[in-house]
Amino acid sequence: MKIESRSEAVIGFSEGLGRFLPQGVTVFAAGLSAFLVLFIGLPVTMVILMSFRTGFPGEVVPFTWENYATVYLTPRTYEVLLNTIFFAVSSVAITLVIAVPLVWILMRTDIPFKKTIYVLLTIGILIPVFLRTIAWILLLSPRIGLVNKWLQQIFALSDPPLNLYSLTGMAFVQGISFVPGAFFMLAAAYRSMDPSLEEAAYTAGVSKFRTFLKINIPITLPAIAAVMVYLFMTAIAVFEVPAIIGLPARIHVLSSLIFTSTTPSTGLPDYGMAGAYGAIMLILGLTLAFLYVRLVKQGKKYTVITGRGYRPREIALGKWKWAALAFVLVYLSIEVFIPFSVLLWASLLPYLQLPSAEALSSLTLKHYVELPTHVGVRPFVNTLILMFSVPTITMVLSVLVSWIVIRTQVSFRGFMDTLVFIPHAVPGILMAVGLGYLGLAYRDYFPLYGTILIIVLAHTINWIAYGTRTTNSVMIQVHRELEEAGRVAGASSARVLWKVVLPLIAAGVLNSWVWIGMLSYREVTMALTLLTRSNVVIATVVWQFWGSGWVPQVSALGVVLILFAALVVGGVRLALSRVGEIGAAS
């Protein structure tokens, strides 16, 4: 009896203590949170730290307001800020003017060749912006642009009517390149839209166009607004278009100013100035992220776009079918066909020239043959490392975070969700500059500068917000009963996650894995900011070739890259055909 009493007492004590001790899940979540705070917080902290320092990273210097004084007391900063806002707003406007009708046509109507158009849109996302920009120079440059030449001939104009080397020109090229991304973001909202209001409008005899303007757009306005804010955040951070079009014409935006501060054309690197400029970007980013979260929440309140139980009927376009198809084709031409044709043309020439009989007679394949010699093996190996490690690490972290956020009652799960969303508010270029500074100034503790791992890290941080949004949404769809059944059967939380949850969300996770891999493959801003001889990737080779004037070679590389992307996308679509429609998991 005594023994039994003692045992009961021990058990009772353990249970009592257990109530005060954190559970395994909580401990795990706390560990993961601490890791993420370091993982995400360090580069951001570095940006703030370097903004208060002068000199080179690693030099022992006192903290100073000097960089802020220089930046904020210079009128140029405000000019650049205005340029940045104009560029971002115009880019987003151009994107939406094309993307919204495109989404409606493809998601809500019976337009033919839908699958082919989806694939082409996907390829569009994967054509490096850099290569497309080069193609647009050949089309819209005031002196040599083919479009300008044709317009001058047709309308007998003395001056070229279009000038690519302007903020508007930059916004046009950037806006076009945002369209596929915006399309996939808006697709889900349009696909799941309640058709009853739309059908009521048709019954009342309202035209399709008027219904689109008065019903479809207002219903999806929160989704459009969220996409607008997302794209605006992206537009203030992009670098390729501002670098190729803006810098030669002395048009600076914040991202190009940050880049040239750390890798100047004629002077010495000034990380302090980059940090002070970065502070503006950080404030802009965080404000926009706050706005974005609010808009997304507001969007969820719209019961008409929950999609539960609806299967919207496709609208028969009738005679307008061909007009809609023409619209899509015009867009695909400027997004995919024309840039690809220009690159193909340039890749076959001994030197870059406009189409002519003389040029036709000099076509050659030598740049393709010489590609292995010019590019070498390392960029391919490094790019493959990025394409496999970035999505893998991102998705492992995303699944773990989403599992805690969606499936557990850990008290700080909201904090974790916010934490992994922060990188979305911090422009990639800033994250890369912060990591670069970390690597240079604290190399003993962070010996990654100059390695491919530092780019892996930058990309992973950059896409963890995207990864967790995806895993959050797919995990919500898995009913708790299945997990509970696993637990009742005696399986641990980890085993339930591994054996029950993961197989159920595998398709969505795999889809995101592929996307992140492809985004990592084409990303150039962060890779360029962290570029050294050892971590060169294909995207940065393109930049180096362009700088060296190897345009035919860079075009040949571009053609190969686009064909590679097309093969990957085609293969993945085939493999994931059971996953469902495009945009389901993105």
Residues that bind other proteins (CB under 8 A): 55-59, 137-138, 141, 143-144, 165, 247-250, 260-261, 263-269, 350-354, 362, 373-374, 376, 440-441, 443, 449-450, 532-534, 543-544, 546-551
Q: Which is nearer to other proteins, 26 or 263 (CB)?
A: 263
Q: How many residues does the chain have?
A: 586
Q: Are 186 and 223 in contact (CB under 8 A)?
A: yes
How far, in Å, CA of 169 to CA of 174, rounded?
Answer: 9
Which CB atom, from 212 or from 449, has the smaller least distance to other proteins?
A: 449
Is the distance from CB of 551 to CB of 388 less than 8 angstroms?
no
CB proximity list for 173: less than 8 A, separation 6 or greater: 129, 132, 133, 136, 164, 241, 245
Least Cβ distance, residue 85 to other proteins (angstroms): 21
What Cα–Cα distance (Å) separates residue 158 from each residue in 141, 151, 163, 169, 283?
15, 10, 14, 20, 45
Q: Quote the least distance from Cβ 159 to other proteins, whole Å.
A: 11
Q: How far is the CB of 75 from other proteins (least distance, A)?
A: 15
261 or 512: whose CB is closer to other proteins? 261
Q: CB within 8 A of 429, min separation 6: which ones?
A: 237, 239, 255, 258, 259, 525, 526, 529
Nearest distance, CB of residue 338 and other proteins, angstroms: 17
Nearest to 122 by CA among 449, 562, 447: 562
Least Å from the CB of residue 277 to other proteins:
12
User: Of the two residues 58 and 571, which places its CB atom closer to other proteins in the complex?
Assistant: 58
Handedness of CA 469, 471, 477, 483 (dihedral sign): negative
Produce one character per residue of 379-412: b if its CB has 16 or more CB atoms within 10 Å, e if not: beebbebbbebbbebbbebbbbbbbbbbbeebee
- Which CB atom, from 58 or from 414, has the smaller least distance to other proteins? 58
| CA pair distance 437, 267, nearest whole angstrom | 18
Residue in this structure with the two tokens 């919204």, named with its chain if needed: 100
Instruction: From 476, 527, 481, select the one nearest 505 (Cα to Cα).
Output: 476
* Least spacing, CB of residue 87 vs other proteins, in Å: 18
Decide whether 135 or 478 has the Cβ nearer to other proteins: 135
> Residue 237 or 536: which CB sits closer to other proteins?
536
Query: Cβ distance 97 to 311 under 8 Å?
Result: no
CB-wise, 549 or 570, nearer to other proteins?
Answer: 549
- Encoded tokens for 255: 């991202």
CB of 261 to other proteins, least distance (A): 8
Nearest to 256 by CA among 540, 528, 555: 528
586 vs 582: CA distance, rounded Å: 8
* Cα–Cα distance for residue pair 180/124, rounded to 1 Å: 7
Q: Given the complex with other proteins, which of 14 and 362 has the nearer CB atom?
A: 362
Distance between CA atoms of 371 and 564, rounded to whole angstroms? 15
CB burial of 479-505 (b: ≥16 within 10 Å; e: otherwise) equals eeeebeebeeeebebeebbeebbeebb
Q: What is the closest distance, in whole angstroms, from the C-beta atom of residue 440 to other proteins in the complex?
A: 4
Contact 474, 505 (CB under 8 A): yes
The residue (of 367 and 424) whose beta carbon lies closer to other proteins is 367
Beta carbon of residue 363, minimum distance to other proteins (angstroms, whole number): 13
Instruction: Give Cα 216 to chain centroid, integer Å.
Output: 26
Minimum distance, C-beta of residue 145 to other proteins, in the bound complex (Å): 9
Residue 4 or residue 159: which is nearer to other proteins going by CB?
159
Contact 96, 228 (CB under 8 A): yes
User: Which residues face 554 on adjacent strands?
Assistant: none
Q: How many helices (H) and strands (E) does the chain have?
A: 30, 0
Report the residue number, 349 or 509, with the smaller CB distance to other proteins.
Answer: 349
403 vs 546 by CB, closer to other proteins: 546
> Which residues, in sequence order, are bridge partners of residue 422?
none
Residue found by looking up tokens 């492992």 in the block: 396
Per the DSSP assignment, residues forming a β-bridge with 109 are 315
Count of other CB atoms within 10 angstroms of residue 19? 8
Nearest residue (CB) to other proteins, 63 versus 322: 63
Q: CB of 18: closest distance to other proteins in angstroms? A: 51
CB of 65: closest distance to other proteins in angstroms?
22
**Closest distance of CB 164 from other proteins, Å:** 10
State the minimum distance, in angstroms, from the CB of residue 351 to other proteins: 4
